[in-house]
Amino acid sequence: MSGEPWEIVQSRYDHAYVTNTLVTLAQAPTDVPLGSNEMEPTDPKITRYIHRMVRPMFDQLDIGSVEIDDLNNLICRIGRDCSPSLLIMGYATAQHGNYTDPALEGTIVDGRDYGVDGECVIGKGTSQNKGALAATLGALRILAAERAQLRGSLTVVVNAESQSSHRCSIRLFDGHGITADAGWLAIGSPGIVLGHRGRVDIQVDIQGEAGHSSQPERGKNAIWGLHETLNRLHTFKGTLNRHHPELGGEHIEPYKLTTAPIAPHTMPAEVHLTLDRRFLPGTSPDEAVEQVRGLLSDIPPYRVTVTKGPCHLPYQVSANLPHVRALAAAYEAVRGRAPEIGYVPFAFDAGYANDRGIPTVMFGPSAGMSRLAGSDLLATELIPVAEVRDFTKIYAHAILSLLS
């Protein structure tokens, strides 16, 4: 290579490539539709996105071997299979921004109407993961243009997870044997994320007997079973006193409720309740589920079933790890100030990577402003082009600092 990381980044950065890549990714539908909580990673629109759009972008860079598995996870392996080794994991599925106008997706707009300076690209997933994926591809283009010879290995993954679980990560790490000395999730975040709590969905199914509401004694109205269930859960919630000074506290919260059958003047025979249980390191998801199972084991005359749903594992890493320092130094080199470093209340896939022995953080470009309309998660989603530009340089600088 011809110079130091900063010199290489400045000379090889291709703004037109990064902008065009961002616009192209934003135009492709990859969203979990409103009204659904998840979709299969093999959904046709994720298949089209990975095979017809994302893979050709990696192939055109001609920087390493590329494969796609049966869950639509894309894996690009660059350099020699040795240490030092680095993992960068991006994502395909858009989970928010549901009020974004489809006609505007992939368009460049003046950011002043959205509270930011400069141009922005609109599209579901832009602030969550497509901006970070465009920045990752832009960083790889810098490496390709420099013909950088890495002294170790770089694995870049596009994870097709679409169910708020570790399903695709399990396939990647356990199925494909992916490993690394360190890594980061290329995903929109407020700073370098050193940790978060774990979470597990707990499904509670209450079985009674349907009956006409004019003769309630002839049935077993499952809503009364729900009433007792919620009373017990509310009491249990008050006993969850484990707290971490940085990650926060454990809690349990109901967030989804359905009944069946739905018919005129009919008491439901079934209630289906989903709980969100947040937990700290030291509490396992199985333990969290078992606590609820014991709590609801006896609610006569109803039959209550408790099952474990999707989960994310907790994690916490040190700010003094080499790749965290490299990301922070790269951020300061590009932006002239230190990044925020801390923790987030939500959970994602870094927990599973850490569980598999890869110290992993989350860091990537995000909108960082109030949306134009609607609630925060559902409103129009967009990303400033300058944000993606800066993170392209940050990623490339960090990769070169760690592996060149």
| 180: CATH | 3.40.630.10
Looking at residue 309, its pLDDT comes to: 95
* pLDDT band with cut points at 50, 70 and 90 for residue 80: confident
Length of the chain: 404
Structural domain that includes position 131 = 5-196+315-403
Residues 178 and 160 in one domain: yes
Residues 141 and 122 in one domain: yes
Write the CATH number for 222: 3.30.70.360
Q: How many CB atoms lie within 10 A of CB 118?
A: 12
The residue out of 312, 347, 366 marking a domain boundary is: 312
What total number of domains does the chain contain? 2
The residue out of 284, 312, 340 marking a domain boundary is: 312
For residue 324, give every residue at least 6 positions away whose Cβ sits within 8 Å of its Cβ, in sequence order, or none: 192, 194, 317, 318, 341, 361
Rounded to whole angstroms, the Cα distance separating 284 from 46 reads: 31
* pLDDT band with cut points at 50, 70 and 90 for residue 175: very high
Strands 360-362 and 182-185: parallel
pTM for the predicted model, two decimal places: 0.92
Q: What is the pLDDT of residues 308-347, one digit of tens each?
A: 999 999 999 999 999 999 999 999 999 999 999 999 999 9
Cα angle, residue 140 at apex, residues 138 and 146 outer, rounded to 5°: 105
Residues 273 and 205 in one domain: yes
Element (H, E) at 133: helix 131-146
DSSP 8-state symbol, 102: G
pLDDT above 80 (res 370): no
Residues 38 and 167 in one domain: yes
